Amino acid sequence: MPYMEDIEEVREFIRNSSEDSAVYVGCDSRQIRGKTVFVTVVVIHINSSHGARIFWRIERVRRITSIRQRLLEEVNRAVYIAMMLADVVGDRPFEVHLDINPSPDHRSSVIVKEAVGYVLAQGLKPVLKPDAIAASAVADFITSKC
């Protein structure tokens, strides 16, 4: 999995992928040693059926204690990267995966409407748990290794 130092590398990979390849962007975070660590990923699902290429970025910031603020920052980071890719995606399936569970039994549900509205306002397609694999599986896996 290549570290996403330059977004142009991701854009070029998407340009060269088939029109059947899906593009998913997601972000997850974790509190580690007094910092909040954000992992933003871009998953290009090759032909939407033949494996994937994953690009990722790790950013460490001052600890964010508010769960609401931290989740909104995850959404913001995913949308930011998605907007940087939008013009090269073309007609490929394109989704922003949010590490948010819509069930009221989960703490992340407090920002569902706000997060979904923000993603939709940017002209992007939001996907929530359990279908948000870029955020809840891929980015989560990388954050567990930080």
- Domain residue limits at 120: 7-144
Distance of CA 120 to the CA centre of its chain: 15
pLDDT, tens digit (0-9, with 9 covering 90-100), for 135-145: 999 998 998 88
**φ, ψ dihedrals at 55, nearest 5°:** -115, 145
**Burial environment of residue 14 by CB neighbours within 10 A (0 to 12, 13 to 18, 19 or more):** buried
> What CATH number did the domain enclosing 13 receive?
3.30.420
- Split into its structural domains, the chain has a count of 1
Residue 14 covered by a domain? yes
pLDDT given for residue 109 in this prediction: 87
109 CB-side CA count, 13 A: 8
pLDDT band for 1, please (50, 70, 90 cuts): very low
Residue 51 covered by a domain? yes
Q: How far apart are CA 140 and CA 143, in angstroms?
A: 5
Residues of the chain with pLDDT > 70, as a percent, come to 97
Distances (CA, A) of 34 to 23, 30, 31: 33, 10, 7
Q: How far apart are CA 136 and CA 127, in angstroms?
A: 11
Residue 2 covered by a domain? no
Residues of the chain with pLDDT > 90, as a percent, come to 83
pTM of the shown model:
0.92
For residue 122, is pLDDT > 90? yes
| Mean pLDDT score, 69-96 | 97
For residue 2, is pLDDT > 60? no
Nearest one of 80, 85, 89 to 59, comparing CA atoms: 80
What is the C-alpha radius of gyration for the chain, rounded to an integer number of angstroms?
14
Residue 1 covered by a domain? no
pLDDT given for residue 3 in this prediction: 58
Residue 18 covered by a domain? yes
Q: The tokens 């590398």 sit on which residue?
A: 9
Residue 123 covered by a domain? yes
